[in-house]
Homo-oligomer: A and B are copies of this chain.
Amino acid sequence: MLNYIENLCKKAKKASQTILSEEKINACLEKIAYNIGMKKNQIIEENLKDIQSSNLSKALTDRLTLNEKRIDSIIESLHTIINLKSPVGEIIKGWKLKNDLEIEKVRVPIGTIAIIYEARPNVTVDAFALCFKSSNACVLRGGKEAFNTNKYLSNLIRDTLTSCNINPDFLTFIDKTERQAIDYLIKMDKYIDLLIPRGGESLITHISKNATVPVIQHYKGLCHLYIDESANIDMALNIAYNAKVQRPSVCNAIETLLVHKNIASEFLPALAKKFENIVELRGCENTLKILPNIKQATQEDWQTEYLDYILSIKIVDSTDQAIEHINEYGSKHSEAIVTQNYTNAEDFLNKVDAACVYVNASTRFSDGGEFGFGAEIGISTSKLHARGPMALEELTTYKYKIRGNGQIRS
């Protein structure tokens, strides 16, 4: 299997060295969108095979399912990507040296990007389209639960690439469902330039520990909301509700609420009322003095991404103490403060170490679409290369082009 995977990666690398015009890329993406539309029934048929042979929970089966509406939204997002401007070729900066050498810093594709994902077959099309739009070749390894759907979609895309006179290896599909395929793939640093794992914490941790290919992690979203003593109570309640309840299963929902001690006795009872019968609250010792009927939070709670209707609450003495807690337990994803105090707002923005830091807004806005990027391939909690929502620009790197007329170094 090692040779098999190495050979696939090698072919993907080869494909990535082709230079394609944005026009040609867009025309091919149009054709892919059209072909997906024409093959809806077949896609749903393959998807049914996956659903029938899997043994997943209701929530996971829902993630796996493609129906007509969802295929339409895949097609729609292809059109969105077609309409985005490719960042490739942008001259980021340029200057001339004293010796007349002209240096241009130019945005170029990264090359070959491997994406390892779980049971969401829409990722097959989305991830390919974002990589292809930015002139990268992608190597896809989806979860075995969606194998038939992924394979069908990949073949459809590869056939369309071929029909557009483009190397089909711009989409390389790893059709091995064994876990070992991942272990080989993540060591293909000779051919793969970047690895983006999308999935649960254990998958990400395994990959990060073992990969020799550089990884951009979306590790987890352990996000906090801090209610400062000067907060507007109504605004704080609305933001807390939105950040926790609107969609608790996603990474930009909050897991822990930090409350300044001077506002706790007013704010927390109102919160408890608003969250009653919806969210399980767990509090620190001081919180229990105000809300005696909730469960006590343990050390483990501060470290847990519930992804569920659970919220841990801690009372703090100051903005600095809130920042300290966040920098200790946060996953560097999205963090928010509600405050009317200028200094506390700026301190929070400057001192919190996270990709997205908010004043008086919900953490739920951390998303490529909401940010105006038009799409999203993930949200990076890494600090290198890309941070926060990642779209086309984050799938590029740069090179220096230097033009001379015989310059030598003295």
Interface of A with B (CB < 8 Å)? 17, 19, 95, 97, 101, 103, 110-111, 189, 193-194, 208-209, 212, 214, 216, 232, 235, 238-239, 241-243, 246, 327, 345, 349-351, 353-362, 364-365, 370-372, 382-385, 387-388, 397-409
Closest to A398 in B: B387
Are A351's CB and B402's CB within 8 A? no
Are B111's CB and A365's CB within 8 A? no
CA distance A67 to B242 in the complex (A): 64
- Knowing A193-B383, A194-B384, A327-B17 touch, does A407 contact B365 (C-beta < 8 A)? yes
How far apart are A317's CB and chain B's nearest CB, in angstroms?
18
Are A358's CB and B404's CB within 8 A? yes
- Knowing A101-B365, A397-B383, A399-B355 touch, does A239 contact B406 (C-beta < 8 A)? yes
How far apart are A19's CB and chain B's nearest CB, in angstroms?
6
Ordered nearest first, which 5 A-B pairs have the shortest CB separation?
A361-B404, A242-B408, A364-B409, A385-B385, A361-B407
Are A209's CB and B208's CB within 8 A? no
How far apart are A252's CB and chain B's nearest CB, in angstroms?
9
CA distance A365 to B99 in the complex (A): 11
- Chain B residues lying within 8 Å of A216, measured Cβ to Cβ, are 384
- Chain B residues lying within 8 Å of A239, measured Cβ to Cβ, are 406, 408
CA distance A201 to B359 in the complex (A): 47
How far apart are A243's CB and chain B's nearest CB, in angstroms?
8
Closest to A212 in B: B209
Are B397's CB and A384's CB within 8 A? yes
- Chain B residues lying within 8 Å of A95, measured Cβ to Cβ, are 372
Q: Which of A242, A327, A384 has the most CB of B within 10 A?
A: A384
CA distance A385 to B95 in the complex (A): 21
Are B406's CB and A360's CB within 8 A? yes
- Chain B residues lying within 8 Å of A383, measured Cβ to Cβ, are 110-111, 193-194, 397
- A selection of 18 A-B contacts at a CB cut-off of 8 Å is A17-B351, A19-B350, A97-B371, A97-B372, A110-B384, A189-B208, A216-B384, A239-B408, A246-B408, A246-B409, A357-B402, A359-B402, A360-B404, A361-B403, A361-B406, A361-B408, A362-B407, A384-B384
- Chain B residues lying within 8 Å of A19, measured Cβ to Cβ, are 350-351
- Knowing A97-B370, A101-B365, A385-B385 touch, does A360 contact B405 (C-beta < 8 A)? yes
- Chain B residues lying within 8 Å of A214, measured Cβ to Cβ, are 214, 382, 384
How far apart are A155's CB and chain B's nearest CB, in angstroms?
29
Are A193's CB and B384's CB within 8 A? yes
CA distance A194 to B350 in the complex (A): 20
CA distance A365 to B189 in the complex (A): 28
